[in-house]
Amino acid sequence: MSSLMSIKNMSVNFDTPGGSLEAVRGVDIEIPAGMSVGVVGESGSGKTVMCRAAMGLLQGSTVNRTGTVIFDGHELTAMSKEQVRELFGSGMAMIFQDPLTALNPVRRIGAQLSEGLRIRLGMSKSDAMARSKELLELVRIPNAAAVLKSFPYQLSGGMRQRVMIAIAIACNPKLLFADEPTTALDVTVQAQILQLLRELREDLNMSMVLVTHDLGVVAGNTDYVAVMYAGEVVEYAPTKKLFADMRMPYTEALLDSIPRVDHKSGTRLSVIAGRLPDPTHRPAGCGFAPRCKYAQDKCTTDHPELKTDPDGHVYRCWFPIGEAL
């Protein structure tokens, strides 16, 4: 199984008035060609920063990125901003978290959708607009011709998200990053968007990174899952393997916090007590130790390194689930 993107020992720090903020710390992730990888964790766990850093979207004097990112044979971390930008669209693309802010509010949908086609594929204005209509139909938007003339505020949240998907796949990218693509959508529309992404990935033979805080979302939509906590990958395994034999207590806590249809009405949701550690002052031991019901003295003093089981299941825990304490 070949790797389309390989992220090795990636760390991302931001210079802030309160000191250096370590948003991502020593991340290793492999994204196989033609496969889907879910990246799961609470808000603030580093999921979005990791994806944007991998694409080279984080720029500026206050951002410090280290590590290596290799995409389709290109070492992105050794390339200039202009060279990396040439891979956007046909190589890599991203569906951003909030389509209302990602779309330009004063430009019509047709102008925004056709722009990449003209710049990246060299299409004429008329051909790009015709292809834009086809793309809107591909993402199941009815009356596509009218939507091309619309402004973002005239569309529903689900329609705007479909437009963002159409923009992202316009140039047939090899790798699609979907950053919380169902945020703020109702349950029915969420299911439709996830089904659409699954079908497009299979039809276009794309790899996909699905970023979410919900383990339930990745269960039926990914081949592998990477669980992130406090900027680190704390568990990585094939999706079926992870749900059948999770090793990391944080993964178990995330799963327990999902509402279940078999619970009686009025059942209180399980919560993860406490909060993520301050990224400017990391604790000496495991970052999850203060919130972990399995924590021992060693967890508060020694930082756990990643372990790999013989079957390739990766986790970061001194006392993993399933092993005697």
Backbone angles phi, psi at 131, to 5 degrees: -70, -35
Q: How far apart are CA 47 and CA 232, in angstroms?
A: 9
- pLDDT > 70: what percent of the chain? 99
- Rounded mean pLDDT, 42-62: 90
Confidence of residue 33 (pLDDT cuts 50, 70, 90): very high
The pLDDT of residue 142 is 92
The answer to whether residue 273 scores a pLDDT higher than 90 is no
What is each CA distance from 218 to 47, 72, 174, 181, in whole angstroms? 14, 24, 20, 12
Q: How far, in Å, CA of 125 to CA of 10, rounded? A: 40
How far is Cα 168 from Cα 307, in angstroms, rounded to an integer? 36
What pLDDT is stored for residue 1 in this prediction? 64
Q: Tell me which DSSP letter residue 289 carries.
A: G
Q: Across the chain, what does the average pLDDT equal?
A: 91
pLDDT at 252 over 90: yes
Q: What is the pLDDT of residue 325?
A: 52
Better-predicted residue by pLDDT, 100 or 153: 153
258 — pLDDT class (breaks 50, 70, 90)? confident
Cβ pair 222, 37 in contact under 8 A:
yes
- Residue 292: pLDDT band by 50, 70, 90 thresholds? very high
Quick one: pLDDT at residue 324?
A: 52
Of 262 and 107, more confident: 107
SS3 200: helix
pLDDT at 183 over 70: yes
Whether 43 has a pLDDT exceeding 60, the answer reads yes
Query: Where residue 139 falls among pLDDT bands split at 50, 70, 90?
Result: very high
Chain position carrying tokens 């011709």: 145
305 residue type, one letter? E
